[in-house]
Amino acid sequence: MEAPQPRISVVLPAWNEAGNVAPMTGRLKETLDALAESYEIVWVNDGSTDATGDALDTLAAEDPRVRVLHFSRNFGHMAALCAGLEAARASGAIISMDADGQHPPEMIPELVARWKNGVDIVQTIRNPSGREGFLKAATSRGFYRVLSLLADIDLPNGAADFRLMDRQAVDALNNLPERVRFVRGLVHWVGFEREYYHYDPVDRLSGETKYSFFKMFTLAFNGLTSFSVRPLRLSFVLALLVILLAFLYGVFVLWAYLVGLELTPGWASTLIVIMVLGSAQLFAIGIASEYLARAYVEQKQRPVYILRKARAPRDAAE
């Protein structure tokens, strides 16, 4: 028999976090018990190769409020997060967070309080701690700036996957059909009323971060290509720039001829022909890129709009 539908779900992807799942579950249960709301904890074992799976099965056997999904292999953090959001049964709010303890469970009551005040999405923002190293901090800031410049979303620096989402916002996110998902961007794309909540990160419970530089680069690249077609349209900009340069050089050649300045024979005509032909090629590529951009947008099959249901009181028992 399926357990009654909980009011709150907490989703945690885990990959090789054997030493963290038990203490994290304990902290979560202590925090959620104090809320006096029905809840479930949904762990997603992302193909761990250590004892994470066994530890999670033990926790689930001890408490029916703990549910575990096991992947057949490591599919990645985004896939695990999406699986958890799709499996969450909460009627009210779904909270996603990391398994390593750097997202403090003790913050959950504040997120829930803001949600009960009418906010659909409470997105946490990680304050700079100075412990992440110069390279990681610089690349993170650079990524968010480039994404804000090129993409069609305004993602704040430090916005990670620690957030609370209302049930209807999660349903809207789950209904998006695309396969390559940048969840941080999609959460902002679906809209709904949101607030930001800043917090100071804490140390991992144990182990080391699973996000290598390559994985961070892949995440950034997926985010940029999922929310922007502007790189495809750069050929138009380059074509206009080359046309401008060709025009300016033509003006210079004409001025040199009028003032009697001697130029290398044949050089001016050759350079102008090359620049004109180059700009024509770039312009043709730009037209093709525009059609490709439209096909790219269409194949993602995102909905044209998302309707928001009328707000209901969120502190009433269901």
Give residue-wise pLDDT tens across range 9-35: 999 998 888 888 889 899 999 999 988
Rounded to whole angstroms, the Cα distance separating 207 from 98 reads 13
- Coil/strand/helix, residue 111: helix
Q: What CA dihedral angle connects 260, 264, 266 and 269, to 10 degrees? A: -60
Q: Does pTM surpass 0.75? A: no
**158 secondary structure, DSSP code:** T
Q: What is the mean pLDDT of residues 231-243?
A: 73
Q: What is the mean pLDDT of residues 34-47?
A: 90
- Look over the chain and give the mean of its residue pLDDT values, rounded to a whole number: 77
The token pair at 66 is 């703990």
**224 secondary structure, DSSP code:** H
DSSP 3-state percent helix, strand, coil across the chain (nearest 5)? 50, 15, 35
Query: What is the residue-wise DSSP string for 70-96?
Result: E-SS---HHHHHHHHHHH---SSEEEE
Residue type, 122: V
**222 secondary structure, DSSP code:** H
Sign of CA dihedral 187, 191, 192, 196: positive
Rounded to whole angstroms, the Cα distance separating 225 from 211 reads 20
For the stretch 166-222, pLDDT in tens is 999 999 888 887 777 777 778 888 888 888 888 877 765 565 555 555 556 565 556
For the stretch 82-133, pLDDT in tens is 889 989 999 889 999 988 878 888 899 999 999 998 899 999 888 776 555 5
Q: Please, what is the Cα angle at 13 between 72 and 28, to 5 degrees? A: 135
CB neighbourhood size of 257 (10 A): 12
Question: Are residues 78 and 33 in contact, defined by beta-carbon separation less than 8 angstroms?
Answer: no
- Coil/strand/helix, residue 162: strand
